[in-house]
Amino acid sequence: MRKLYILLIGFLVGCTDIINVQPENDTTFTNYFQTLDHAEALLVNLELNVRNMMCTSKEANPQVIAGEIADSTGATYMSDPRELSAASYTQAKWVDFYTTINAADLILDNLSRFPLSEEELKPYELQAYFAKGLCYFILAQRWGEVPITKGTTYFGKIAKSSVHDVLEEATKYALKALELPVYADLKDNYGKARTTKQYGSKGAAAALLAHLYAWRASIENVSEYWSEAEKYCTMIIDNQVGFYDLAANPEELCNLGFIGNHKEAIWEVYRSVEDKVVNSSLNVAYFSEIFIGVPIYMDLYSGIDKQYDIMIFKERVKKMYDPADRRRDAYFWGLDADEFYLRRGTEMNECVLSHGPNDEIIATYSIKNRKEAYVNKFRNPAWNYNAWNESYSYAGMEICKVYWRLADIILLRAECRARQNNPAAVDDLNRIRERAYGNRMHDYTTAEGDLRLAIFREREKELLFEDHRYYDVRRNGDDYVRQELPEAFGKLTDDDIKNGALYLDVDRTAFQNNDLMRHNVYWNKFLQ
């Protein structure tokens, strides 16, 4: 008899609502789908797969690297995707997305087996819809043409579908997911509140639809979709789909906005440093955590002098941000400092960088002549304790990956409104500037020139290192691609772009035992 294997991890530190549900031993399709505990276990499996697909290492999405604002991407262990290298682009694999889709289908395909009411099963159905909508949207963004699966009972070969059809599939499920409760009303099968914004919610579904329609408006050149995207942005901004609010200032955003469940976060992927025990790839929530940054620890004294794979220089940062822009000093350490001081932290062997000296100084580093900027946007560092030698090692930032937050949605609405020549776009732009500067002295004026470009630049500054920029460039059109992405992209012809150069190449493993699979025209030429 065919067995059902469900991935369950009952001990997830810091995430109390991903519960410990143990399925029966030797569970089969004939005896499993019986209780709400079983349904909850299926949802646990789904959420674990969502986390895995969204928190993978930097190699998983070279588009983010290509779109990032950086002065050096000299990785030694991979080809630089900023050069449109086929070698780096084939490292991106879609298997995690299809594993997640399969986990969602495992719920949807078996709801009828449960001897439970439609009302009891509805929350699980809607969570599966949200996950599928999210997966197909990201697949369409990254690869363009991808296969659309046919459920857990189909084992035949599947060819790729058109970008239009994939985006239609994503939209179909996202619209269904809009029936989800607002985040504050989400409950598990015991009626307990869910405590992570990784679960789908009405607000998360609205954010997905806002980005979906904006992407479709641009990629499919359907102008009516800009108004649809604006509609869903407004739902979020006006608190029609849950309560969301901006952090008071950039410091609050950096200190609290990324650690989980902040009022500005709409949908985020839960991640704790302890996850490293389960899956080391989950140690990277944002690609930009690998930028040279702080803090450093006693066993990482060399970190201040290390040549990191990804670096942004102080000169560039100072050109991007006005000195009065509070994001400048919130997102970066000591741009104007001559020295950093390594001081003792609160934990055994822990050391952190400081701007100023104190009695706990361990070492002093001169940075006066260093060109690298030190990223400080993502905080709350954590470390692993080695009981054998009583030492600590840096483990990463204990932060969630905030995929959509309110500032993103406000600026997206500004973009949608600008596309429709709606002057209210300026109000949205100025709202974010007011938070950044703490006053209204930097409001947009026509002297700045093109409003769309001003909004794009504001998204650059506000969402720096949050993995949005490549897709922001794409959404703004081919002129932005050639102007804002690295030199290799500027050399692309119209035919190159039409033939799929801006999408990821399909990993070679996808062709195994599937003679229906094809590369797009652009990437196929690298095989010849």
What mean pLDDT comes out for the span 481-505?
A: 95
pLDDT of residue 295: 45
Least reliable range by pLDDT among 81-85, 153-157, 419-423: 81-85
The answer to whether 410 and 234 have CB atoms below 8 angstroms apart is no
* Pair 419, 221: CB distance under 8 Å: no
Q: What is the pLDDT of residue 308?
A: 56
Number of residues assigned to the chain: 528
- Strand partners of residue 146: 161
Lowest mean pLDDT among 97-106, 180-189, 321-330, 367-376: 367-376
Q: How many CA within 13 A on the CB side of residue 380? A: 19
Q: Report the share of the chain in percent with pLDDT over 90.
A: 61
* Structure token digits, residue 284: 């990277």
3-state secondary structure 103-153: HHHHHHCCHHHCCCCHHHHHHHHHHHHHHHHHHHHHHHHHHCCEECCCCCC
Give the residue extent of every domain in the chain: 287-398
Distance CA 191, CA 396 (A): 34
3-state SS class at 425: helix
pLDDT single digits (tens) 260-308: 999 999 999 987 656 543 444 445 456 555 554 544 433 444 445 555 5
Tokens of 429: 């732009």
pLDDT tens readout for residues 391-416:
656 666 778 889 999 999 999 999 99
Distance CA(375)–CA(361), nearest Å, equals: 21
Average pLDDT, the chain: 84
Is the entire prediction scored with pTM above 0.85? yes
Q: Higher pLDDT residue, 30 or 69?
A: 69
pLDDT of residue 395: 65
What's the pLDDT at 491? Answer: 94
Residue 52 pLDDT greater than 80, yes or no: yes
The one-letter amino acid code at 336 reads D
Instruction: For residues 363 and 473, give the distance between their C-alpha atoms in angstroms, rounded to a whole number.
Output: 42
Does the pLDDT at position 70 exceed 50?
A: yes
Question: Is 302 exposed, middle or buried, given 0-12, 13-18 or 19+ CB atoms closer than 10 A?
Answer: exposed
